[in-house]
Amino acid sequence: MDQRTRRGRSGDPRLDLAVLNAPVLVVNPGSTSLKLSVVRGDESTEVESLETAPPDVMAVAHRVVHGGDRFRDPVVVDDEIEAALRGLVELAPIHNAAAVEAIGTARRLFPGLPHVAVFDTAFHATIPAEAATYALPERFRALGIRRYGFHGLSVQWAAERVPVARLVVCHLGGGCSVTAVREGRSVETSMGFTPLEGVPMATRSGSVDPGALLYLLRHGLEVAELEHALENESGLLGLGGHGSVRELEASDAPEASLALDVFTYRVAGAIAAMAAALDGLDAIVFTAGVGENSAGVREQVCARLRFLGVALDAEANRNATPDADVQALGSAVRVAVIRAREDVVAARAARALL
């Protein structure tokens, strides 16, 4: 830990305030992007690179998707922690591999700064056993096979922005998940042991009958080939020939229409399931790249939820710029489009730990 951080914990309130207001460099590797930003004490954000971060940065916060059984709370990264994170790559190969690589690079570039790993799985630690437990033999469950849930930083931010009792957050981007939040706490989510479970995504399959996967393995498909197909060749890409919702919406091809229909059908079904977990529904949030930018996806999803009293204002939905409400007058459910701010939540966590 560098001298600036040590001074900030000395008991001098002026120095403590300086530390709280100092910028944090946030490294956020997603499934389709690597986002680098500097978050200041007022939660303003500047897009940066590892090489051009301002000299007054007090720490580097790293979003790590999967913390496994061991990691829930934020942790300062040292050589032992970095090695432990490397051992978790197989649980979320697209995300954790990128996170570990970024951690190694950032630690070399900023050896004098504390590096803090912040875990997406942490927010979902409140999911009750009935939702987290798979109906598997105990010898499998003893290996840590359970529902973990992901996109926790994004869901936490959305829950703060829309503080209702019964909230469903749809994080729809390259990866997609749907989460039930009761009074600010996660109680159910669509992703599970890995980020493969749940609704279809850009290139990931989402939930598939495990019997179908066993069938493929029995008929000669290698494990590595199956994993690559599920992670990189499925989802919207596998159905419509493109992983981008924007490209699919611009296409007249029937397979593009099918891809969007399957996607919105599954997302709506997941929202309905989350409403059951919440004993009702007060609000829905759409966030991340697709959730924030595709009026068509929001329209199709909400049209499938009319039985829950969801009604969109068509013009507000078409013209929505986050943060915005897009429900129609008289809708029983609030519908909000919220800009994802995972970087702010990660920076807060780093400051709190240090």
289-346 residue pLDDT tens: 999 999 999 999 999 999 999 999 999 999 999 999 999 999 999 999 999 999 999 9
Closest to 200 (Cα-Cα) out of 186, 213, 190, 211:
190
The amino acid sitting at 145 is I
* Enzyme catalytic residues: 120
Does the predicted TM-score (pTM) go above 0.75? Answer: yes
| In contact, 320 and 337? CB cutoff 8 Å | yes
Closest to 197 (Cα-Cα) out of 176, 171, 214, 180:
176
Report the Cα–Cα distance between both ends of the chain, in Å, rounded.
9
| In contact, 36 and 27? CB cutoff 8 Å | yes
Match 């032992």 to its residue by tokens: 80
107-118 residue pLDDT tens: 998 898 999 999
What are the residues facing 119 on neighbouring strands?
64
Domains of the chain: 3-125 (3.30.420.40), 163-337 (3.30.420.40)
Q: How confident is the model at residue 50 (pLDDT cuts 50, 70, 90)?
A: low
The amino acid sitting at 54 is P
SS3 67: coil
233-263 residue pLDDT tens: 999 999 999 999 999 999 999 999 999 999 9
Check residue 31 and give its pLDDT: 61
Residue 131 CA to residue 146 CA, distance in Å, equals: 9
